């Protein structure tokens, strides 16, 4: 023990390289280990001393590794226990997506028939039960020696005489294989090939968009506004026309304060700015709070009005249409629209409106969205990837090269003349923003997208809210396509613009994309496991989707660690998008679903700080005479809310598809299909997590 004691006592004089190891457990102290120095390799050094020193260092390293591994196992165990507890709560509650009440859009439209809602789920269940039966059949055949892992079968063997059949089971299975080869595999292979062609066309479109975005960055293409004249009221040089600002909202008491405060702090001459708060709330407390907030801003000098509709026809489109019918609107040249959760920066109008100067054919200037809660949970991170690609690639490329893209419904400035020529706001679909953009494009108006002008907003944090939003966003375009197709064909725009509208804008990106995503990866791929005579190449299952996911994630490089969850989640969402697309295309009941996306009222700390600094005198209290009345209203509302709590739900279609894919992955093991097995396994787990509502906001 003497050499060891001498080494520890004289370590200050040792000239080795220090290695500092930090322990994860705070109860452990920090230990300093020394690496070997040059003296350790001298021949004169005692070999026993060197071996003892290195052995002690090696022992400490092993202990540290073991401690870290134990910590990882503990964390993993805690996570698994939490997951099991969440699953148990979901099953115990028994709440499913069929319990959600849907409010129809507009008067005279009925809520969706439950039979229509369950039709799609019934088809998925049939596929699931059939796959379970076939899996049991295939496992029994495998243990009896039927190992047909490839589609190249010897049919002569199967057509052999009954003497070659060992038993009833072998005879039945041989007939099943013949039915597969002769009748099932050819149509399935044809459908597979058709979906692969659509998949490649859509992948090529995405690649071209990415190349266009790269060209824009390489050439530094950017819309540049023209300079205006000196404005005596603001004391600045610029372009200051009359601008109307509209904020449509409906029962959004979580976010109304921050959006109203943001637009009231817009840096624009007050005599040339009017703000309309278009409140469609049917809750008396929310109406009272919004009206009080508008009144306080009026006292601060803001030119702001409060409007409330008694008859709420048409929802957002009807709300905007009603506001545009006011007589004073004719005094304004432009209108800026913000949803209730959007917070424009004070210079928003100064960075968007000047683009209209001396540009008489420009109808819309659209700004980019940014998100205050993009890192809140896994669901918001995945949404951020999707929307970053949408804005930076799709919107920007279409703006630069063809001057047309779909209006995002908010954070945009319209020329009022363009709205009027296009026919104004219509309530005929759930995508009134896309509707007005298409009609304005048919009348020859051009659009500009500003990628460097951002407007903060919120992302849905719960899967229920995101699912409803995506249903509306994917059913509405199909409704609009049916209605607009005759107008597109008859319009006077060029053939190229008609091709872009019909094939690229509607068919490829709104219809074909959800169709092949669901059909290819959720139906055809599992079926090829049970009918191996129809092949789905590995490059379709793995390599091309991975490449497309890599391209999608480029606009949000910080989200690169989430590339695999993003790929799996996009395929998982295909069931919702496919169902919405079919509903909109064939005018089923769910095509008219309209649910206001749930907001949490999050604001960035920087925006709140800037508002406090700019308006230190503004307080959001309530007037004393109305305090008792408002407290009573809030108390009653809280009582109603306590009886109607938020819950995580079980989503039946996603769960059924999860078990279908997991069953198919078990079947792929019999054929030793490695890539197909792993894809089906992880995709099935993804559907399982989404079906149990474990991906977004968790309600305790």
CB 338 within 8 A of CB 276: no
Residue holding tokens 């994309």? 513
Cα atoms found within 13 Å of the Cα of residue 174, Cβ hemisphere only: 18
**Among 433, 158, 168, CA closest to 319:** 433
Catalytic residue status for 341: no
Q: How far apart are CA 101 and CA 37, in angstroms?
A: 73
CB 685 within 8 A of CB 136: no
DSSP state of 144: T
- In terms of phi and psi (left: phi > 0; alpha: psi -120 to 50; beta: otherwise), the region of 226 is beta
Residue holding tokens 């708060």? 277
Kindly name the residue from 433, 435, 607, 693 that is annotated as catalytic. Answer: 433
Catalytic residue status for 433: yes
Cα atoms found within 13 Å of the Cα of residue 516, Cβ hemisphere only: 22
CB 637 within 8 A of CB 629: no
Residue holding tokens 């659209």? 366
**Among 203, 225, 216, CA closest to 399:** 216
Alpha helices in 411-462 (DSSP H): 416-421, 432-442
Kindly name the residue from 279, 280, 341, 607 that is annotated as catalytic. Answer: 280
Strand, helix or coil for residue 143: helix
CB 463 within 8 A of CB 696: yes
- Please give the sequence-ordered ranges of beta strands (E in DSSP) within 396-478, or none if there are none: 412-415, 446-457
104 DSSP β-pair partners: 593
With 0-12 / 13-18 / 19 or more C-beta atoms within 10 angstroms meaning exposed / middle / buried, residue 393 is: buried
Q: What share of residues in the chain are helix, strand, coil (percent, to 5)?
A: 60, 10, 30
**Among 672, 663, 524, CA closest to 149:** 672
Neighbouring residues of 637: CB distance < 8 A, sequence distance ≥ 6: 283, 285
DSSP state of 304: E
- Return the C-alpha torsion angle 575, 580, 586, 587, nearest 10: 150
Sheet harboring 362-371: ordered strands across? 304-308, 273-279, 243-249, 334-337, 412-415, 362-371, 446-457
With 0-12 / 13-18 / 19 or more C-beta atoms within 10 angstroms meaning exposed / middle / buried, residue 405 is: buried
Neighbouring residues of 166: CB distance < 8 A, sequence distance ≥ 6: none
Distance of CA 34 to the CA centre of its chain: 50
Enter the tokens of residue 463. Answer: 């899967």
Is the torsion defined by CA of 282, 284, 288, 290 positive or negative? Answer: negative
Strand, helix or coil for residue 104: strand
Q: How far apart are CA 246 and CA 422, in angstroms?
A: 19
CB 620 within 8 A of CB 61: no
**Among 556, 205, 571, CA closest to 375:** 556
Neighbouring residues of 323: CB distance < 8 A, sequence distance ≥ 6: 246, 248, 276, 278, 307, 329
**Which positions are catalytic?**
280, 433
């Amino acid at each position: 023990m003497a050499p060891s004691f001498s080494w520890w006592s004289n370590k200050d004089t040792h000239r080795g390289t220090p290695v500092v190891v930090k322990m994860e457990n705070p109860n452990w102290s920090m230990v300093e280990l020394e690496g070997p120095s040059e003296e350790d390799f001298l021949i004169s050094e005692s070999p026993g001393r060197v071996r003892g020193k290195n052995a002690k260092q090696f022992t400490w390293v092993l202990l540290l590794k073991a401690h870290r591994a134990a910590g990882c196992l503990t964390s993993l165990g805690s996570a698994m226990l939490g997951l099991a507890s969440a699953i148990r709560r979901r099953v115990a509650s028994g709440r499913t997506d069929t319990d959600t009440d849907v409010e129809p859009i507009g008067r005279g439209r009925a809520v969706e028939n439950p039979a229509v809602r369950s039709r799609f789920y019934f088809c998925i269940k049939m596929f699931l039960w059939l796959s379970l039966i076939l899996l049991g059949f295939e496992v029994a055949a495998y243990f009896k020696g039927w190992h047909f892992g490839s589609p190249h079968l010897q049919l002569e063997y199967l057509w052999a005489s009954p003497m070659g059949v060992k038993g009833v089971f072998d005879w039945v299975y041989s007939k099943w294989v013949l039915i597969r080869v002769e009748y099932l595999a050819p149509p399935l292979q044809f459908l597979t090939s058709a979906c692969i062609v659509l998949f490649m066309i859509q992948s090529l479109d995405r690649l071209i968009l990415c190349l266009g975005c790269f060209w824009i960055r390489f050439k530094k293409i950017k819309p540049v506004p023209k300079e205006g004249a000196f404005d005596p009221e603001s004391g600045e040089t610029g372009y200051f026309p009359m601008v109307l600002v509209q904020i449509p909202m409906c029962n959004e008491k979580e976010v109304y304060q921050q959006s109203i405060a943001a637009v009231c702090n817009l840096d624009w001459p007050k005599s040339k700015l009017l703000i309309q708060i278009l409140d469609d709330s049917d809750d008396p407390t929310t109406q009272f709070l919004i009206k009080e907030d508008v009144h306080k801003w009026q006292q601060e000098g803001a030119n702001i009005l409060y409007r409330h509709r008694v008859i709420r026809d048409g929802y957002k489109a009807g709300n905007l249409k009603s506001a545009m019918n006011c007589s004073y609107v004719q005094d304004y040249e432009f209108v800026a629209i913000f949803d209730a959760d959007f917070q424009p920066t004070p210079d928003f109008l100064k960075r968007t409106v000047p683009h209209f100067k001396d540009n008489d054919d420009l109808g819309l200037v659209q700004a980019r969205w940014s998100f205050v809660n993009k890192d809140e949970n896994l669901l918001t991170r995945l949404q951020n990837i999707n929307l970053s690609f949408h804005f930076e690639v799709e919107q920007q490329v279409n703006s630069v090269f063809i001057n047309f893209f779909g209006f995002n419904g908010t954070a945009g400035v319209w020329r009022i003349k363009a709205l009027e020529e296009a026919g104004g706001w219509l309530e005929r679909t759930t995508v009134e923003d896309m509707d007005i953009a298409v009609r304005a494009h048919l009348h020859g108006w051009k659009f500009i997208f500003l990628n460097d002008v951002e407007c903060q907003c919120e992302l849905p944090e719960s899967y229920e809210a995101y699912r409803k939003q995506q249903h509306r966003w994917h059913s509405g375009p199909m409704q609009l396509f049916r209605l607009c197709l005759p107008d597109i064909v008859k319009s006077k725009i060029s053939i190229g613009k008609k091709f872009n509208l019909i094939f690229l804008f509607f068919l490829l990106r709104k219809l074909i994309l959800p169709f092949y995503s669901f059909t290819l990866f959720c139906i055809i791929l599992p079926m090829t496991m049970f009918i191996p005579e129809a092949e789905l190449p590995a490059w379709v299952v793995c390599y091309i989707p991975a490449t497309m996911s890599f391209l999608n994630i480029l606009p949000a490089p910080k989200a690169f660690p989430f590339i695999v969850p993003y790929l799996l989640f996009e395929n998982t969402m295909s069931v919702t998008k496919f169902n919405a697309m079919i509903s909109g295309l064939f005018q089923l009941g769910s095509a008219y679903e309209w649910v206001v996306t749930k907001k949490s009222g999050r604001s960035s700390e920087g925006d709140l700080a800037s508002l406090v600094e700019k308006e230190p005198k503004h307080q959001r209290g309530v007037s004393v005479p109305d305090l008792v009345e408002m407290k009573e209203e809030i108390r009653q509302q809280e009582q109603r809310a306590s009886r109607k709590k938020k819950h995580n739900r079980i989503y039946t279609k996603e769960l059924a598809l999860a078990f279908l894919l997991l069953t198919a992955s078990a079947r792929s093991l019999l054929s030793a299909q490695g890539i197909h097995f792993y894809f089906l396994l992880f995709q099935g787990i993804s559907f399982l997590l989404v079906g149990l509502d474990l991906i977004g906001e968790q309600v305790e």
